[in-house]
Structure 1
Amino acid sequence: MCACIAVICLAIPLLVADDGPGVTVAARLAVPSSAAPSPVDPLPGWAPPELLTAPVDDGRAQAAVDAAQAAASATTELGVAVLDRVTGRTAAGDRGDEPFYTASLSKLVVAVDVLDRRRTEDLAVTDDDLDLLRRALGPSDDAAMNQLWVRFDGPGAAARVGADLGLTGTTAPADPSQWGEMSVPAVDLLRLYDHVLGGMPDEDRLVVVDALSAAPAIAADGFDQAFGLLDPVVDGPGAVGAQAKQGWMCCFSERYYLHSAGVVGPDQRFVVAVLTRVPSGPGWDAARAEVTAVAAAAVRALG
């Protein structure tokens, strides 16, 4: 309403000047004219309606990171980061930029690399190869990953994906045969997932998202992967329908690497990455419970 009033007010001198005294504004507006109207600059501070309704950061990403860090045990080394894909807000914890060994999260990096390269490099990817990708992502099948790693130059995936997406800390393993020792910080996983959801064509995006959505509770190697974002006890948007990649690896300096990173919330709004190094002494059940507590705190804060 304000913008319309401003335009009419600015136009009055021109209308009077063109038609002379005695011609009212109402009469002038009623006269048909084929001439294009002169552009009128909006008043200072005016913005198009779509900009006036742009989403405003409500602080939930930062609140989720704070909640996750508060929930972590003193003995847990936690890398956590959260992206609100609606506002574009990213928040990261104290170790959010610190690279962790990926364990099976490297499977997501390789999947993105293969699917992107089949478009950008015309890489030959067969239906059997796509089946390998699905097996590596959902059941977290190590045998499938081994084949992908050899067939599609897995050791080079970190550098290629990192360059394409502007990742800051994703690096190849020192030993090229050990894909679980690829390194990635939590903040890079946010960009990786955002690319999957918003940067890939539907055909490729669905390969990844559908495979993650179909992840069974028990992985191909017999490991219980229903922890973290995939634990059904997690309250909030992560309780149903979260798409997440889990990672687990033992043992470096008597610590487990246990990770849960994925998409939660209606319309896949939030990306949450929880990377941990936890003491191996208490065992895997305790480690899974720890990651679940951290992920649940983050998801509850997202509301």
Structure 2
Amino acid sequence: MKRFTRAAVSLAAPLAAAQFVVGATAPAAAAAPQPVRVPSGVTAGYVVFDRQAGKVIANRQVHHRFRSASVVKVLIAIDYLERRKGTIPAADAALLATMLRGSDDDAATALWRRGGQGKIVQRMARKIGLADTAPPPAAKPGFWGYTAISALDIARVYRYLLDTAEPRVRDAVMGHLRQAQQCATDGFDQHFGIPRGVPRPWAVKQGWSGYGSVPPVKCVRSTSSSTGMAPRGAAGPTTTGASATDLTPVTTGTAGLATGLTTGRAAGLRRGNAVDFSRPVLHTTGVIGDRFIMVVLTTQPAGASYGSSATRLTALARDLYRSVR
């Protein structure tokens, strides 16, 4: 059994322009935290930030780098909206909606190409002060799902959205995340982790990769407490490689790191923190009510099924939420 820590992890970004410091006074010491179990074979990094207290209240391996899968779509959306001044064309508004609500990969690829691919990540990392985040490997510039992220960096992204971004950007992105569909456009059930384990209201962006391009079970919308997944065909995926739809190759643009991010990347590599591109990943991230930012990133066991991974991640998110309440 592994317990989370209440270490003094700061969400304040290294760039002064990010303005993340919160002056709230911390509440009196709480009761001893409840145990949070990380399932065997799972690599997990997580952060819970209490906006009311103005501090991180639970954390584990906050700088561990994971491949982003669809979580990077939040950065794609913020970058597009901040670069686009004036009215958003109807076609682009539709792309943003389906990318954030239904985690649509084709929409993400279209906006990724238009924004310069890895340059999107570079711009966002510089602006928000993301120390562990980096574009996909230079050999795979179009594979947006191979963007490197950490739990602390994604928590900073949500803080930026809620506390610093222009209201039009905040309202657009958070509005879509509050309406995240249960059934993603690729047929996968994306109500795992926070949506399945934490009471509403919440706004979420999920991520998954390594389970094939076709869901092993059919996603069925459900308002009950059941899994919302009905059997269809095989019980699990037969491949453990990256999802084809998550990783649509694009050949234009450039990849690599901006000069201002070199130090952060070197620090991550010195920690032996290379990104795992082989095992499946499953992530749940978002805002619970108006108070908690929760980010749980996981690398699952090799060959794990989507259903078993979702069950493990949901249990972890539920335990983590209960431990901080």
User: The TM-score by the shorter chain falls in which range?
Assistant: 0.7 to 0.9
Q: Please give the residue correspondences for 1:227-246 in structure 2 after superposition, counting only pairs within 5 Å.
A: 227-231=192-196, 234=197, 238-246=198-206
Structure 2: which amino acid aligns with 1:72? V
Relative to the length of structure 1, the TM-score reads 0.72
Equivalent in the alignment of 1:288: 310
Equivalent in the alignment of 1:200: 165
Q: Displacement of 1:125 after TM fit?
A: 4.5
- 1:300–1:149 distance in 2 versus 1, CA, 3 Å: same
CA contact (8 A) 1:92 1:187 kept: no
Give me the whole-angstrom Cα distance separating, in 1, the residues matched to 2:278 and 2:114.
33
Identity %: 31
- 1:166–1:226 distance in 2 versus 1, CA, 3 Å: same
Q: Please give the residue correspondences for 1:1-303 in structure 2 after superposition, counting only pairs within 5 Å.
A: 55-58=25-28, 63=33, 67=35, 70-91=36-57, 93-118=59-84, 122=85, 125-174=88-137, 175-231=140-196, 234=197, 238-250=198-210, 251=240, 255-265=279-289, 268-303=290-325
**Uncovered stretches (5+) of structure 2, i.e. residues with no partner:** 1-22, 211-239, 242-276
Equivalent in the alignment of 1:42: none
| 3-state secondary structure, aligned to 2:25 | coil
- 1:57–1:153 distance in 2 versus 1, CA, 3 Å: farther
Give me the whole-angstrom Cα distance separating, in 2, the residues matched to 1:125 and 1:287.
37
Give me the whole-angstrom Cα distance separating, in 1, the residues matched to 2:117 and 2:87.
15
Q: Displacement of 1:131 after TM fit?
A: 1.9
Q: Displacement of 1:127 after TM fit?
A: 2.9
Relative to the length of structure 2, the TM-score reads 0.68
Determine which structure has the larger helix proportion and give its number. Answer: 1
Give me the whole-angstrom Cα distance separating, in 2, the residues matched to 1:160 and 1:241.
31
Give me the whole-angstrom Cα distance separating, in 1, the residues matched to 2:207 and 2:162.
20
CA contact (8 A) 1:99 1:183 kept: yes
- 1:117–1:288 distance in 2 versus 1, CA, 3 Å: same
CA contact (8 A) 2:65 2:150 kept: yes
Give me the whole-angstrom Cα distance separating, in 2, the residues matched to 1:289 and 1:71.
13
- 1:176–1:228 distance in 2 versus 1, CA, 3 Å: same
**Superposition CA RMSD, Å:** 2.2
- 1:89–1:149 distance in 2 versus 1, CA, 3 Å: same
Greater CA deviation, 86-95 or 204-213? 86-95
| 3-state secondary structure, aligned to 1:140 | coil
List per-residue Cα deviations over 1:178-206 (Å, max 9, x = no partner).
00000100000111001111112222212
- 1:166–1:92 distance in 2 versus 1, CA, 3 Å: farther
Give me the whole-angstrom Cα distance separating, in 2, the residues matched to 1:100 and 1:202.
30
CA contact (8 A) 1:57 1:89 kept: no
Give every structure 1 segment of 4 or more consecutive aligned residues whose post-TM-superposition deviation is greater than 6 Å.
none
**Uncovered stretches (5+) of structure 1, i.e. residues with no partner:** 1-52
CA contact (8 A) 1:138 1:216 kept: yes
Q: Displacement of 1:129 after TM fit?
A: 1.4
List per-residue Cα deviations over 1:238-290 (Å, max 9, x = no partner).
3112101000000357621000010013xx11111000001143411110000
Give me the whole-angstrom Cα distance separating, in 1, the residues matched to 2:284 and 2:29.
22
Give me the whole-angstrom Cα distance separating, in 1, the residues matched to 2:169 and 2:28.
32
CA contact (8 A) 1:254 1:281 kept: no
- 1:59–1:96 distance in 2 versus 1, CA, 3 Å: farther
Structure 1: which amino acid aligns with 2:314? T
